Amino acid sequence: MSRPTRSLQKRFVVFCEGDTEYNYIDRMRKNQGVKLVLKPFNMHGGGYSNFLNKIRKEASSNCLAKFIIVDADRIMSNEGEMDHFRKLYEFCCTQNKTGNTPFFLIANYPDFEYVACLHSPDYKGQDVKKYITDSLGVATVATFKGNSEIYSFLNQGKLSYEVMMKALDGKEKLISNKYEIKKKNFEISVLKTNYNPSMHSRNCSNMEEFFKVIDW
């Protein structure tokens, strides 16, 4: 009698800071064939420094990769946050050099709501808040952020994460990760993380990396 085949499940840990991305990824987790462990953090109590301290305290997780998804608007708008963001970036680089669980830093400028707008093929860089209320038909941005079904909302009709990925592909980014995936061995490694300060205060994101990595 042959042994039953054990299916390997891809497991990732995701650290995120806002309600919108938490609700989005939580619903996506339930719809996709991947195991995502969500670690939502409130950034208002200390910014990137607080975020980094909490990540450092997390025990080593049995996962293929860790994603740290942050809004980048704090870098320029909050005093001292540029230095704290750089320390977060350097921490990820150091972790990736160890050859252990890779850390993917994902930076959305100004925030995840910009990434949400990119799900629409009609979004061409308009004001994010105005686009959410006027074009996406949501009463208020607060309502949009609190929608627990935001993933389904942004992936219906002509809206989709594929549209978002295409919009971001090949564009300049504040953060970008050069990575390698060995499918046969279920191994992922981040070879280099690039930080481009010239993209401060310019709409950008490397969120497409998240989808590419978990969906291989």
Could you tell me what percent of the chain has a pLDDT over 70?
89
Whole-angstrom distance, CA of residue 166 vs CA of residue 63: 27
The predicted-structure confidence for 1-25, as pLDDT tens digits, reads as follows: 444 444 446 788 888 888 888 889 8
Domain span at residue 102? 11-112+172-214
Q: Which of 21-25, 36-40, 180-184 has the lowest mean pLDDT?
A: 36-40
In a domain, 166, yes or no: no
Quote the pLDDT of residue 27. Answer: 86
pLDDT at 78 over 50: yes
Q: Which residues contact 206 (CB under 8 A, 6 or more apart)?
A: 106, 107, 168, 173, 174, 175, 176, 177
In a domain, 91, yes or no: yes
Whole-angstrom distance, CA of residue 168 vs CA of residue 205: 7
In a domain, 94, yes or no: yes
In a domain, 165, yes or no: no
Could you tell me what percent of the chain has a pLDDT over 90?
63
Quote the pLDDT of residue 126. Answer: 96
In a domain, 98, yes or no: yes
The predicted-structure confidence for 138-155, as pLDDT tens digits, reads as follows: 999 999 999 999 999 999
In a domain, 204, yes or no: yes
- The highest-confidence range among 45-49, 78-82, 160-164, 180-184, by mean pLDDT, is 160-164
Q: Are 35 and 12 in contact (CB under 8 A)?
A: yes
Rg from Cα positions in the chain = 17
The residue type of 37 is V
Domain count, the chain: 1
Q: What integer is the mean pLDDT of 109-128?
A: 96
Quote the pLDDT of residue 42. Answer: 59
Whole-angstrom distance, CA of residue 193 vs CA of residue 90: 9
Residue 77 binned pLDDT confidence (cut-offs 50, 70, 90): confident
pLDDT at 61 over 70: no
In a domain, 132, yes or no: no
Phi, psi of 32 (to 5 degrees): -105, 165
Reported pTM: 0.90
Q: What integer is the mean pLDDT of 48-66?
A: 83
- Region at 63 (left for phi over 0; alpha for psi -120 to 50; beta for the rest): beta
Q: Which residues contact 144 (CB under 8 A, 6 or more apart)?
A: 20, 113, 116, 132, 136, 138, 150
In a domain, 147, yes or no: no
The predicted-structure confidence for 81-95, as pLDDT tens digits, reads as follows: 999 999 999 999 999
pLDDT at 128 over 90: yes
Quote the pLDDT of residue 9. Answer: 65
Residue 45 binned pLDDT confidence (cut-offs 50, 70, 90): low
